[in-house]
Chains A and B, each alone.
Chain A
Amino acid sequence: MTRSSVRFLHRGEVVSLTDVGANETLLDYLRLRRHAYGTKEGCAEGDCGACTVALGTLQDGGLEYAPVNACICLLGMIDGKELVAVEDLAGANGALHPVQDAVLRHHGSQCGFCTPGIVMSLFTLYHAGGRADRQAVNDTLAGNLCRCTGYRPIVDAALEACDGTPRDAFAAHRANTTERLAALNDGEDIFIGDEEAGFLAAPATVDALARLYVRHPDATLVAGATDVGLWITKQLRALPKIILLGRVAGLAEMRETEQGFYFGAGVTHAQAEPAMAAIDPDLVELLRRFGGKQVRAVGTIGGNIANGSPIGDSMPALIALGTTLHLRRGQATRSMPLEDFFIDYGKQDRAAGEFVTGIDVPRLESDHVFRCYKISKRFDQDISAVLGAFRFTVETGRITHARVAFGGMAATPKRAAATESALRDLPLDDPQGWEAICKALAMDFQPIDDMRAGARYRLETAQALLRKALHEAGGTASTETRLVGLRPEDTERAA
């Protein structure tokens, strides 16, 4: 069954649109079509959060509100969701929503341009459950830039309003909304447009996706659009054929396996967090600093991998962990070690019509030590200058085997082969002996200069990260080696 409309819930009504442009963004829909000017455009590239709206989505049957950057979200992606924009918050009698009221009373707006987006991010925190602490507020606001206030009053407003007991209209309508969203999620394929001239398609099954993509290998797959969105808004690329992956049920699967965890390509960074936490806390910190909440809410593991950027964050960590990648084209499937997927800058081992179905990530063994560090100019929502990931197998104070991978050091995410072999048999109690190995990194990588960092800094920092990992593997607590992302075992010990 195929449907030729996009349907979503807005202000208690089902909106059904048949005229959805394949490249039309949610922000343009709100501002240009609905003349709803509350949602602002500050950058049109997902980085400032001025355009933040909330999307109500069913997760395992329950209703959750996630912040999304409307500027790079395609309108078609909100099918089956509830759209909440800033105009929708105030009560019928004009009464402010609790987060709006708190931001106002705490003097949390100056010029007011960032404010609607901030209010929407806080709205999602208000509904996230549990009393918010400073860390939660910081994480919620990592994708919202404010140039005026210095954030303190906004943080105070959030701490006051987000007390874990939502009492707004959205909480009151929760059951009803859940029911209506369930009804909207009909499992039908969506196809709007024309096979030749261009279309917006949103298949509901992996099989349907496989068939469609083989027929249209020139189509653009879109998962979270946190990369593709910028091709549209910044490069002004015309992408006439769009296949949305968000409704493909099989792609969002996540399960525990014998060796570890399986993540479908469509699993978002936000969804992946609990399973990643079960592997290692450094992965949680890596995810925490992967974009902001808006990016993690829709950005997917498959998108990060398929995009193949040398500065993509998940790849070095997944490679160091020994991840296997799964691909499918039509009925044919194949698998490979993740590192083999990346051939060169902008070039991956992916055939026309082939797509990523998922990854298998092995869990750590008891003799494994895993460490991962992201270096960027700003801690939150920044792209890595260098990212290093290490998995050492340690036996009686000696490394017997190492997997080391870096981002930002070459044209692709890459393993450090020379370093890995130099690490073999290295004792962890003799820092003097490590220096030669740090030098081996210079044989593995010839990084480049760009706006994020110079080549020399990249190489020296990669060496420093290896040194740091070795110190930590040798027993130095992260409280002595890190400014952020302390490992829970160390903070517990310190406490």
Chain B
Amino acid sequence: MPPEVLQAERTAPGDGNGAVGRALAHDSARGHVQGTARFIDDVPEPAALVHVAPGYANHAARGRITALDLDAVRAAPGVAAVLTAADIPGKNDCSPVFGDDPILADGFIAFHGQVVFAVVALSRDEARRASRLARITVDEEEPRVSVEAGLASGETVVPDYQFLRGEPGADMKQAPHTGSGSLHVGGQEHFYLEGQVALALPGEGGAMHVLSSTQHPSEIQHLVAAMLGKPDSDVVCECRRMGGAFGGKESQAAQWACLAALAASVTGSAAKLRLDRDDDMIMTGKRHDFRVDYSYGCDDTGRLVAVDGALNARCGYSADLSMAVCDRAMFHADNAYFYPSARILSRRVKTDTVSNTAFRGFGGPQGMMLAERMMDDIACRLGLDPLDVRKRNLYGRGRDITPYGMKVGDNILPRLVRELETTSDYRERRRGIAAFNGSNRFLKKGMSLTPVKFGIAFTLKHLNQAGALVHVYTDGSVLVNHGGTEMGQGLHTKVAQVVAEEFGIGFEHVKITATKTDMVPNTTPTAASSGSDLNGMAAKRAAATIKDRMAALAGRLYQVPKAEVRFADSTVTVGGQDIPFAELAKTCFLERVSLSSTGYFATPKITWDRASASGRPFLYFAYGAACSEVTIDTLTGEMRVDRVDLLHDVGNSLNPAIDIGQIEGGFAQGMGWLTTEELVFDAKGRLTTHAPSTYKIPVASDVPEDFRVALWKSKGNREPTIYRSKAVGEPPLMLAISVFSAISNAIASLNPGRVPALDAPATPETIARAIRSMQDA
């Protein structure tokens, strides 16, 4: 059943013609359902196009390359060129920050699947076939595959970092109860449906135009330019839309764009690289898997006194975005709970595996697993209802400073959790579940209600900026361009709604165009859920600038103060006169008033200083809560989700249909992460689940029929964000922790008092193992 809010007239107030706050369809929806919305591989191919396929050493995970024999590759049918590190004219690097990700391996293989060479051929098929003919000899070394192996070697990709308040070790000893534990939290493959792809079009005088499925066109531009040894101004990167990204195209799109551009530069032809799905899964980074260790002290009611947590992240062979990801894990190791005394230690462990990267939530979900496992641990040990333990530990008055020193000023969670407790009928169902478990031998039920508090802003301060460009044409149509990218999250739709609202014109009059580095320069990645916060505001300012000029002209012509000029319903009302918006636009041209403007926005109040671990990293928090009920089969470890209730806070919703879509989709993706999606590496460091046949993301039947989703009735974000909305891209993913916790709750019923040793993902096998651990000894 569609959530009720979709029937609502409007969810955010605006003063134009009401485009903002309406459940408008995604701007490309018509194209999506007809298959006419073009992805990069659907762009009609230029003549003389060549295709690029990456090649790697299929047997080796780590070691020096002692011989690289590419003769058979060169001799294969259709091959135009074979590229190695030596062919790169400029910098051999596609890393986002640290300069440690070679585009093509140069003498050393650092993980299984690392690209060593690239074949350029007349067809994709020929390129793929040729790529398998190389003979690469490697002086193989034993790879460090697991986080434990990495910890044992002591090597990290960035130094350890910690938050410390009080003396948790000593404070814990004073507490009436203590507990400790450890759990593995698995990684996650993005499985964007559209794989990595780039098309490079060589231009005049060495210029390069790159179409890339990327969340970060500016970075692609910079990396391609540096690789070619050219100024940034010679390279344009463009992205109309991605077929999903989820963080997997933030830094991970660059290598393929660079290789396509290199092939185009070497051959002089347009060059396309579209990764095969298996290669994509083997060669690109994933969500970090963590080993989470914790110990705590609490009082008789389950309220925490002190917490000592360690977040050991498997980062892979290079730093990539691991510093920021692991920082965000630390920022969320408290989730919604007050830790009076705390140490949060983060270790960024180096392993000889693909470099892990951004993934929706960006470390936050893994950090929250610490908090939520601890809540379940306390409830089990003390024999309390897990919801009571959670409620007792929520941030509240006088208990509102996070371990990193930021005050939680906008906390609505106590109210939000209480409301969900009521609407989900938690207490009554809890009794029903106890009765069910008492009378069923093989099947056991569990339920859990978990909160989410997620910090909004990039924790790297300089990323919190955005630009936009708006043109009004003389027929009244409007074109918007901004630095954000569209990956399905509806950003372009929301930004167009904002611009339509500003001008008081219909949404259909606002044209959205591809993100392009020659339209809006020096942009930051579309990530951290910040897309509409940043770009919506920048576009609004650009539109407001033009509107102000139009109003000034109208005021002058009709001799009224410009403040009295009103824009609504595609009409400009001035001095009792109604002028069509288009007519005023035309008049502006005739009167030589500019109808084009840029807009710029930088998020205020962000003062985080990493070195001193002080200041304010977030502008505000997004909140939500979820209640999930599951049944497990204790014979086999199989699990079914029976019912899910979600209540989520988006402030004033810019578009409730899109927001509901983010909530439901994020939840399902999080559920997959914690249940069926298992990344398996063999002892030689090879990923064995590199295809959808072995890596299982949720399908329709995994989402329960009884799925109740609602938006929190907000009075709007306390911070003056765009129409006082809240970011929604990432936070709902973490609502799925309720499913994991419910599974743990079902297992806990087998042996009250004992904490289930459940790791994530909770596959049937993992659940069976946890069940066994309840029965042993």
Residues of A within 8 A of B (CB): 35, 37-45, 47-48, 50, 85-87, 89-90, 96, 100-101, 103-116, 119, 134, 137-139, 141-142, 144-156, 234, 236, 373, 375-383, 385, 450-454, 457, 460-461, 464-465, 467-468, 471, 480-484
Contact status B700-A107, CB under 8 Å? no
Chain A binder among B363-371, B527-535, B631-639: B631-639
Interface centre among A103, A144, A147, A483, by most chain B C-beta atoms within 10 angstroms, is A147
Instruction: Choose among A39, A119, A379 the residue that contacts B701 (Cβ–Cβ < 8 A).
Output: A379
B660-677 interface code vs A (CB 8 A; 1 in, 0 out): 110011111100000010
Nearest chain A CB to B577 CB, angstrom units: 38
Instruction: Choose among B44, B193, B246 the residue that contacts A35 (Cβ–Cβ < 8 A).
Output: B44
Report the separation of the CA atoms of residues A203 and B696 in the bound assembly, to the nearest whole angstrom.
38
Nearest chain B CB to A194 CB, angstrom units: 19
Contact status B765-A453, CB under 8 Å? yes
Instruction: Choose among B633, B698, B768 the residue that contacts A482 (Cβ–Cβ < 8 A).
Output: B633
- Ordered by A's residue number, 24 sampled pairs between the chains whose C-beta atoms are within 8 Å are A40-B193, A43-B277, A44-B277, A45-B277, A100-B33, A100-B34, A106-B2, A107-B23, A111-B241, A111-B244, A111-B245, A112-B37, A114-B193, A145-B193, A147-B244, A147-B669, A150-B667, A150-B668, A450-B688, A451-B689, A457-B637, A457-B769, A480-B440, A483-B640
Instruction: Choose among B192, B705, B768 the residue that contacts A147 (Cβ–Cβ < 8 A).
Output: B192
Report the separation of the CA atoms of residues A134 and B193 in the bound assembly, to the nearest whole angstrom.
24
Instruction: Choose among A44, A107, A119, A465 the residue that contacts B25 (Cβ–Cβ < 8 A).
Output: A107
Q: A43-B691, A142-B699, A153-B2 are in contact. Are A483 and B33 (CB under 8 A)?
A: no
Q: Which 7 A-B pairs have the closest CB atoms?
A: A38-B35, A111-B488, A113-B243, A112-B32, A150-B668, A110-B488, A37-B42
Contact status A152-B638, CB under 8 Å? no
Contact status A152-B36, CB under 8 Å? no
Q: Which residues of A contact B467 (CB under 8 A)?
A: none
Contact status A142-B193, CB under 8 Å? no
Instruction: Choose among B39, B42, B639 the residue that contacts A483 (Cβ–Cβ < 8 A).
Output: B639
Q: Which residues of A contact B631 (CB under 8 A)?
A: 483
Q: Which residues of A contact B36 (CB under 8 A)?
A: 38, 87
The chain B residue sitting closest to A110, CB to CB, is B488
A-B contact count (CB 8 A): 265
Check if B194 is an interface residue, CB within 8 A of chain A. Answer: yes
Interface centre among A152, A236, A451, by most chain B C-beta atoms within 10 angstroms, is A152
Contact status B443-A96, CB under 8 Å? no
Instruction: Choose among A43, A85, A152 the residue that contacts B664 (Cβ–Cβ < 8 A).
Output: A152
Report the separation of the CA atoms of residues A41 and B32 in the bound assembly, to the nearest whole angstrom.
14
Check if B692 is an interface residue, CB within 8 A of chain A. Answer: yes
Check if B128 is an interface residue, CB within 8 A of chain A. Answer: yes
Q: A43-B691, A377-B696, A378-B696 are in contact. Are A457 and B768 (CB under 8 A)?
A: yes
Q: A50-B193, A152-B707, A156-B1 are in contact. Are A377 and B26 (CB under 8 A)?
A: no
B232-265 interface code vs A (CB 8 A; 1 in, 0 out): 0000000001111110000000000000000000
Check if B309 is an interface residue, CB within 8 A of chain A. Answer: no
Contact status A147-B193, CB under 8 Å? yes
B610-654 interface code vs A (CB 8 A; 1 in, 0 out): 000000000000000000000111011111100000000000000
Contact status A104-B33, CB under 8 Å? yes
Q: Which residues of A contact B665 (CB under 8 A)?
A: 110, 147-150
Residues of B within 8 A of A (CB): 1-2, 6, 23, 25-26, 28-39, 41-42, 44, 128-129, 132, 190-195, 241-246, 276-278, 440-443, 487-490, 631-633, 635-640, 657-658, 660-661, 664-669, 676, 678, 680, 688-689, 691-694, 696-703, 705, 707, 709, 763-765, 768-769
Report the separation of the CA atoms of residues A194 and B42 in the bound assembly, to the nearest whole angstrom.
34
Instruction: Choose among A154, A155, A464 the residue that contacts B635 (Cβ–Cβ < 8 A).
Output: A464
Q: A42-B194, A105-B25, A148-B665 are in contact. Are A119 and B278 (CB under 8 A)?
A: no
Contact status A454-B765, CB under 8 Å? yes
Nearest chain A CB to B323 CB, angstrom units: 27
The chain B residue sitting closest to A113, CB to CB, is B243
Contact status A115-B33, CB under 8 Å? yes
Contact status B694-A109, CB under 8 Å? no
Nearest chain B CB to A290 CB, angstrom units: 13
Contact status A375-B764, CB under 8 Å? yes
Q: Which residues of B contact A150 (CB under 8 A)?
A: 661, 664-669, 698, 703
Contact status B442-A481, CB under 8 Å? yes
Q: Which residues of A contact B640 (CB under 8 A)?
A: 379, 483-484
Nearest chain B CB to A233 CB, angstrom units: 9
Q: Which residues of B contact A119 (CB under 8 A)?
A: 33, 35
Report the separation of the CA atoms of residues A148 and B729 in the bound assembly, to the nearest whole angstrom.
11
Nearest chain A CB to B416 CB, angstrom units: 21
Contact status A480-B441, CB under 8 Å? yes
Report the separation of the CA atoms of residues A47 and B699 in the bound assembly, to the nearest whole angstrom.
11
Contact status B132-A236, CB under 8 Å? yes
Q: Which residues of A contact B193 (CB under 8 A)?
A: 40, 42, 48, 50, 111, 113-114, 145-148
Q: Which residues of B contact A87 (CB under 8 A)?
A: 34-36
Q: Which residues of A contact B694 (CB under 8 A)?
A: 383, 451-452
Known A-B contacts: A50-B193, A454-B765. Give 16 more (CB < 8 A).
A109-B28, A109-B32, A112-B32, A114-B243, A138-B701, A144-B700, A145-B193, A147-B191, A147-B669, A150-B664, A379-B640, A380-B701, A383-B694, A451-B678, A461-B768, A465-B635
Report the separation of the CA atoms of residues A42 and B768 in the bound assembly, to the nearest whole angstrom.
33
Report the separation of the CA atoms of residues A451 and B31 in the bound assembly, to the nearest whole angstrom.
38
Q: A112-B241, A150-B667, A156-B2 are in contact. Are A378 and B191 (CB under 8 A)?
A: no
Nearest chain A CB to B759 CB, angstrom units: 13
Nearest chain B CB to A406 CB, angstrom units: 14
Nearest chain A CB to B418 CB, angstrom units: 26
Q: Which residues of B contact A155 (CB under 8 A)?
A: 700, 703
Contact status A109-B33, CB under 8 Å? yes
Nearest chain B CB to A100 CB, angstrom units: 4
The chain B residue sitting closest to A38, CB to CB, is B35
Contact status A109-B241, CB under 8 Å? no
Report the separation of the CA atoms of residues A149 and B245 in the bound assembly, to the nearest whole angstrom.
13
Q: A147-B192, A461-B768 are in contact. Are A110 and B33 (CB under 8 A)?
A: no
Q: Which residues of A contact B660 (CB under 8 A)?
A: 107
Q: A134-B705, A147-B669, A457-B765 are in contact. Are A154 and B700 (CB under 8 A)?
A: yes
Contact status A113-B276, CB under 8 Å? no
Instruction: Choose among B29, B33, B195 the residue that contacts A42 (Cβ–Cβ < 8 A).
Output: B195
Q: A107-B657, A483-B443 are in contact. Are A113 and B194 (CB under 8 A)?
A: yes
Report the separation of the CA atoms of residues A105 and B688 in the bound assembly, to the nearest whole angstrom.
40
Q: Which residues of A contact B2 (CB under 8 A)?
A: 106, 153, 156
Contact status A145-B699, CB under 8 Å? yes
Contact status A383-B277, CB under 8 Å? no
Interface centre among B34, B640, B680, by most chain A C-beta atoms within 10 angstroms, is B34
Report the separation of the CA atoms of residues A24 and B498 in the bound assembly, to the nearest whole angstrom.
48
Contact status B676-A377, CB under 8 Å? yes
Q: Which residues of A contact B638 (CB under 8 A)?
A: 375, 379, 483-484
Contact status A468-B701, CB under 8 Å? no
Q: Which residues of B contact A137 (CB under 8 A)?
A: 700
Contact status A148-B244, CB under 8 Å? yes
The chain B residue sitting closest to A105, CB to CB, is B25
Q: Which residues of A contact B769 (CB under 8 A)?
A: 457
Q: Which residues of B contact A106 (CB under 8 A)?
A: 2
The chain A residue sitting closest to B671, CB to CB, is A150
Nearest chain B CB to A114 CB, angstrom units: 5
Interface centre among B6, B30, B678, B701, by most chain A C-beta atoms within 10 angstroms, is B701
Report the separation of the CA atoms of residues A103 and B693 in the bound assembly, to the nearest whole angstrom.
27
Report the separation of the CA atoms of residues A147 and B676 in the bound assembly, to the nearest whole angstrom.
14
The chain A residue sitting closest to B707, CB to CB, is A152
Q: Which residues of A contact B42 (CB under 8 A)?
A: 37
Nearest chain A CB to B269 CB, angstrom units: 18
Q: A40-B193, A148-B665, A377-B678 are in contact. Are A141 and B34 (CB under 8 A)?
A: no
Q: Which residues of A contact B278 (CB under 8 A)?
A: 45, 234
Q: Which residues of B contact A452 (CB under 8 A)?
A: 694
Q: Which residues of B contact A468 (CB under 8 A)?
A: 442, 635-636
Instruction: Choose among A85, A86, A112, A138 the residue that contacts B243 (Cβ–Cβ < 8 A).
Output: A112
